[in-house]
Structure 1
Amino acid sequence: MQRKAYVPGLALLVALASGCSAASGSDGSSTDSKGGVTKSAPAPPGKYRTLPEPCHAVARSTLKDMLPGAASLADADAAKEYAGSADLTYDTDRRVGCRWKDETADGVRRLTVDFERVVSYDPTVSDDDQTQQLYAKKEAAANLPAPRSSAPASPSPSGPPASPSASGSSAPPTAKASGGSAGSGAPVLAPGRPVSPSGTPSPGGTGPTTSPSPSDGADPGGLQPRRLSGLGDAAFINDVASQAGTGGGAGAGQRTVTVVFRTSNVIVTIEYAAQAMASAAVPDSKELQEQAQAMAGRLVEQFNE
């Protein structure tokens, strides 16, 4: 009887080829040969692997604008104030911060900056997605007002206009540019009127329209938490004021402006507070907000470099 020839090398090549085709998919995923389960590639890491040194991240020109009292100090004292004080941290690749304090006869200003790099430990969730979830929680905690519709309510097309009754209950309420509705303490703006950062309607009807948040009575129309556009991937600003005896100390009005923005897998928080020393007047909202937003814009540029 004639035997068939057996070629070991050819059999090995055939086995290897069939094993490779069964173990890998066309989309880069791999298949477990035992259970037949497809394993997806891990989610991509975030853009940033380290964080900048926070006390050096803020330009000296910015600090001079935000800490005006340092200009009257001796050079050595001014340099010390501009240097700031780094926050204690155990992992400088994950979270760092710095703070500054400026005192004058008129009041005290405090500035803090916080950098947080978010890392996802879930292989199916990217660092960016994890950062977006954390940022959303911070935004929700700020209680930002819902956007208001700029279109005024249209009158009913049919039926004669209602005549005012003796009590005037059928007359429509009149929108006001300032002041509050009865019993609410919240200012009511005429539809479509834009609001400046200080809380007053802007002339000319141009610019972004924002809605005022309920006032605490200290500065009607001045507290306006809102989302900001053009600052990182997402950003918002918060503005909280207190009169004398409500947290700022006896005879002192205080305002704290906070800007938070997200860029890829990093969240940056800027807090800028001003407190009057001998006056119960609350510091100006517009000035603090503009300076905090300008600082945030310069920090975004650094992260984009």
Structure 2
Amino acid sequence: MAYVPGAVLIAALVAGCSAGTEGDASATDSKPGTLTVSAAPPGKYRTLPEACRAIPLATLRDLLPGAAQLPEAQQDKVYEGAPAGTFDTDRRVGCRWKSDAPDASRSIAIDFERVVSYDPSVSDEDRAREVYAKKEEDADLPSASLPPDGTQKETASPDGSPTAGEDSGGRSDGASDGKTDAKPVAGSTTGDAADDATGDTADGGTAGTPAENLQPRVLDQLGDSAFLDDLLTRAGSTAQHRTVSVVFRTSNVIVTIEYTAQPALSTEVPDSKELQEKAQALGEKLVDGFSE
């Protein structure tokens, strides 16, 4: 057996340990040329409100005035609402309320969608921006035809009547798609003679003053982004119903409100201004609920 001096043996052991340490360190290093990508932050909201309890009772009574004419038991059923069927209540919930009265029927529906990004490099909020932008694009808002102050362009003829191809609500595509966003001024006829006699214009403004903008449009002060749509259609052969939709985004949640009114008489047109004001007010309440 060959004799190995102690100093030589110790030196060999130290060299072996050093080599092993270097090998382990290199094994834990990432592959050359790869970059570590940090995951995008999750959305601000991880849960959704209970949809059928999202609207206060006092607000429901204001939105559904016909329910007050019903027996108490039926009123309770109306105000209870009907939840929307969804596959994942953690991602999407909704509710709908409807009241039928002899003179008119009204309904209100809300939908909450919590957007989740499955791309680790895209945040939930950025993905929600994309989803909202697609909804706004699909609404085909006529905002491009409005000047910066939000009032309608002066497209009326000298006598104050709308120009050809434009209805009294200012939306030019109403005749082609069978829908209109105009509403007659209360107590007036559809002819220009009534406008001349009263001094009112067909879009609800008075002579010499800018008309209030009731067109579908972007809303500047609701959530992070918002828009309003307003469609007047015919139900069946005679009855008309108007649906005002308000869609807004707050962080990674998108909320859709649909408020519909249908008078019993075919000659009556639902009031666009009233429906828009109430739908927007509801949107503000829902936004405040998220911030609480």
TM-score norm. by structure 2 comes to 0.75
Output the CA distance in 1 between the equivalents of 2:281 and 2:158: 31
Q: Which residue of 1 aligns with 2:199?
A: none
Q: Deviation of residue 106 (structure 1)?
A: 0.9
What residue ranges of structure 2 are gaps of 5+ in the alignment? 150-154, 184-202, 204-212
Distance 1:150 1:177, change over 3 A: farther
Q: Which residue of 2 aligns with 1:267?
A: 254
- 8 Å Cα contact 1:254-1:276 kept in structure 2: yes
Q: Which residue of 2 aligns with 1:209?
A: none
Output the CA distance in 2 between the equivalents of 1:54 and 1:150: 36
- 8 Å Cα contact 2:40-2:121 kept in structure 1: yes
2:223 to 215, 232, 240: 232
Output the CA distance in 2 between the equivalents of 1:43 and 1:97: 28
2:166 to 176, 185, 194: 185
Q: Which residue of 2 aligns with 1:62?
A: 59
Q: Deviation of residue 174 (structure 1)?
A: 7.2
Output the CA distance in 2 between the equivalents of 1:267 and 1:133: 11
Aligned length: 246
| Correspondence 1:2-151 to 2 at 5 A | 3=8, 5=11, 7=14, 11=18, 15=22, 23=29, 33-145=30-142, 146=144, 148-149=146-147
Distance 1:40 1:67, change over 3 A: same
- 8 Å Cα contact 1:179-1:186 kept in structure 2: no
Q: Which residue of 2 aligns with 1:284?
A: 271
Q: Deviation of residue 279 (structure 1)?
A: 3.0
- 8 Å Cα contact 2:156-2:162 kept in structure 1: no
Q: Deviation of residue 180 (structure 1)?
A: 2.0
Q: Deviation of residue 129 (structure 1)?
A: 0.9
Output the CA distance in 2 between the equivalents of 1:176 and 1:9: 99
Amino acid at match of 1:279: S
Output the CA distance in 2 between the equivalents of 1:216 and 1:281: 18
Distance 1:120 1:73, change over 3 A: same
Q: Which residue of 2 aligns with 1:166?
A: none
SS at match of 1:64: helix
Distance 1:92 1:174, change over 3 A: closer
CA RMSD, 1 decimal? 2.9
Larger helix proportion, structure 1 or 2? Answer: 2
Q: Deviation of residue 119 (structure 1)?
A: 0.8
What residue ranges of structure 1 are gaps of 5+ in the alignment? 24-32, 152-172, 188-198, 200-211
Distance 1:10 1:85, change over 3 A: same
1:44-63 Cα shifts (integer Å, max 9, x gaps): 11111111110001111110
Output the CA distance in 2 between the equivalents of 1:9 and 1:65: 84
Q: Give runs of ≥4 in structure 1 deviating > 6 Å.
A: none
Distance 1:52 1:100, change over 3 A: same
Q: Deviation of residue 301 (structure 1)?
A: 0.6
Amino acid at match of 1:254: H
Amino acid at match of 2:65: P
Say whether 1:249 aligns with 2:236.
yes
SS at match of 1:39: coil
Q: Deviation of residue 9 (structure 1)?
A: 11
Output the CA distance in 2 between the equivalents of 1:258 and 1:288: 9
Q: Deviation of residue 178 (structure 1)?
A: 4.9
Q: Deviation of residue 39 (structure 1)?
A: 1.7
SS at match of 2:172: coil
Q: Deviation of residue 276 (structure 1)?
A: 1.1
Q: Deviation of residue 7 (structure 1)?
A: 4.1
Output the CA distance in 2 between the equivalents of 1:8 and 1:252: 94
Distance 1:176 1:144, change over 3 A: farther
Q: Which residue of 2 aligns with 1:298?
A: 285
Percent identity over the alignment? 49
